[in-house]
């Protein structure tokens, strides 16, 4: 009996120990602590530091639609045709045609006259742009050649506002004339601008022309007088006289221009050409320039520069209409040979192109 009681007590004790061990394991499992496998030391799993998550970009704002390419500027010809396409020409179309010309710098008076002529010739089925090109060429036609006196000294005076392309045009004209076997002299009567003499001297060298120049501030009339003497002594065929690119609104300077002309007339007997250089990109200001210059020194012709750019030079139609001065030369670039005699048909085609 005693032995039986001892065995029960030992069994109970053993059972209690087993129950405690089982409970302890259960707790460990609940706490997530893995039991190291036998024979292997639990080593911490090498872990790379988590790369810092890239900062999240703020939500991109909705992208604006890519800008649309601006519609290609259509030429005057295309716009004129579109105006008349598929409908009878009424007063409204003719008014709008006039408006198109005014916006191309042709000027109100010249625009009205051109439209009137096209209107008289227009009939169903005709191309209004072709009619307009013909009328433009006709309005600009006539005597557009330079008047050179064979065997004598021809004097060409060149005027225009600063930046119009006066010096460049003189250089190109000199090259054109020497290219025809003529002897050419240049006079730098632009004594107002410091660099003018140097600039013109470079052009003279390129063109194979002789130059008379003086220091800044010298009397422009005196330079002109000396240049005529020098040209005569050398037996030159043409003398081209540069003048200060004065603001056409400055009266004393305009008076000085008239004085240079008087000196030239006295020294050489006559001035065959007074050319106004107009920049094709000038727009309506070109007509104001032409008015002012011709008041001081009556113009005989226009040299239209920078026609190689986008500007079409519609302003010369206004100048021709109002002042009656023909275009004689056209500048088509900055190079020595980028000058051409004026061709009314080519000009009209270019004006109406597109």
Binding site for ligand GDP (CB under 6 A): 160, 162-168, 245, 305-306, 308-309, 331-334, 338
C-beta closer to ligand GDP: residue 128 or 165? 165
C-alpha span between 289 and 161 (Å, rounded): 8
Query: Angle at the Cα of 158 (from 157 to 162), degrees rounded to 5?
Result: 150
Cβ contacts of 89 within 8 Å, gap of 6 or more: 119, 122, 128
DSSP letter string over 284-327? THHHHHHHHHHHHS---EEEEE-TTSS---THHHHHHHHH-PPE
**DSSP one-letter code for 333:** S
Smallest distance from ligand GDP to CB 150, Å: 28
C-beta closer to ligand GDP: residue 308 or 345? 308
Cβ contacts of 342 within 8 Å, gap of 6 or more: 140, 144, 304, 326, 327, 328, 329, 330
Smallest distance from ligand GDP to CB 249, Å: 16
Smallest distance from ligand GDP to CB 169, Å: 6
Smallest distance from ligand GDP to CB 245, Å: 5
C-beta closer to ligand GDP: residue 89 or 332? 332
Smallest distance from ligand GDP to CB 308, Å: 5
C-beta closer to ligand GDP: residue 113 or 166? 166
Smallest distance from ligand GDP to CB 246, Å: 11
Smallest distance from ligand GDP to CB 290, Å: 15
C-beta closer to ligand GDP: residue 80 or 304? 304
C-beta closer to ligand GDP: residue 11 or 163? 163
**Cβ-closest residue to ligand GDP?**
331
Class of residue 138 by CB neighbours under 10 A (exposed 0-12, middle 13-18, buried 19+): middle
C-beta closer to ligand GDP: residue 308 or 322? 308
Q: Which two tokens stand for residue 346?
A: 């080519």
Q: Which two tokens stand for residue 134?
A: 């013909």
Cβ contacts of 326 within 8 Å, gap of 6 or more: 140, 142, 143, 144, 301, 302, 320, 342
Cβ distance 244 to 253 under 8 Å?
Answer: yes
C-alpha span between 169 and 236 (Å, rounded): 19
Other CB atoms within 10 A of residue 266 CB: 12
User: Torsion angle of alpha carbons 92, 324, 162, 156, nearest 10°?
Assistant: 150
Cβ contacts of 249 within 8 Å, gap of 6 or more: 292
Smallest distance from ligand GDP to CB 165, Å: 3
Smallest distance from ligand GDP to CB 111, Å: 25
C-beta closer to ligand GDP: residue 169 or 300? 169
**DSSP one-letter code for 87:** S
C-beta closer to ligand GDP: residue 101 or 209? 209
């Amino acid at each position: 009996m005693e032995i039986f009681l001892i065995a029960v007590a030992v069994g109970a004790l053993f059972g209690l120990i087993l129950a405690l061990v089982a409970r302890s394991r259960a707790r460990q499992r609940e706490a997530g602590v893995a039991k190291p496998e036998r024979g292997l030391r639990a080593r911490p799993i090498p872990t790379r530091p988590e790369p810092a998550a890239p900062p999240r970009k703020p939500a991109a704002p909705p992208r604006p639609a890519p800008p649309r390419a601006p519609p290609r500027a259509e030429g005057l010809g295309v716009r004129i045709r579109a105006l008349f396409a598929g409908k009878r020409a009424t007063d409204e179309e003719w008014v709008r045609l006039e408006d198109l010309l005014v916006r191309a710098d042709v000027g109100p008076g010249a625009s009205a006259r051109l439209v009137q002529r096209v209107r008289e010739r227009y009939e169903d089925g005709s191309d209004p742009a072709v009619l307009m090109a013909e009328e433009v060429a006709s309005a600009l036609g006539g005597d557009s050649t330079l008047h050179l006196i064979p065997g004598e000294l021809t004097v060409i005076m060149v005027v225009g506002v600063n930046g119009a392309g006066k010096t460049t045009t003189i250089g190109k004209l000199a090259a054109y004339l020497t290219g025809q076997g003529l002897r050419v002299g240049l006079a730098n009567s632009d004594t107002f601008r410091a660099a003018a003499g140097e600039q013109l001297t470079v052009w003279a060298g390129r063109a194979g022309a002789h130059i008379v120049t003086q220091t800044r501030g010298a009397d422009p009339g005196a330079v002109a007088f000396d240049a005529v003497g020098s040209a005569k002594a050398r037996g030159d065929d043409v003398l081209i006289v540069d003048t200060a690119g004065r603001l056409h609104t400055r009266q004393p300077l305009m008076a000085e221009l008239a004085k240079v002309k008087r000196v030239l007339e006295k020294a050489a007997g006559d001035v065959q050409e007074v050319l106004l250089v107009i920049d094709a990109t000038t727009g309506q200001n070109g007509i104001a320039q032409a008015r002012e210059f011709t008041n001081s020194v009556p113009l005989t012709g226009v040299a239209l520069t920078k026609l190689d750019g986008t500007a079409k030079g519609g302003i010369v139609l206004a100048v021709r209409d109002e002042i009656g001065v023909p275009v004689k030369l056209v500048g088509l670039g900055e190079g020595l040979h980028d000058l051409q005699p004026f061709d009314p048909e080519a000009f009209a085609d270019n004006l109406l192109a597109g």
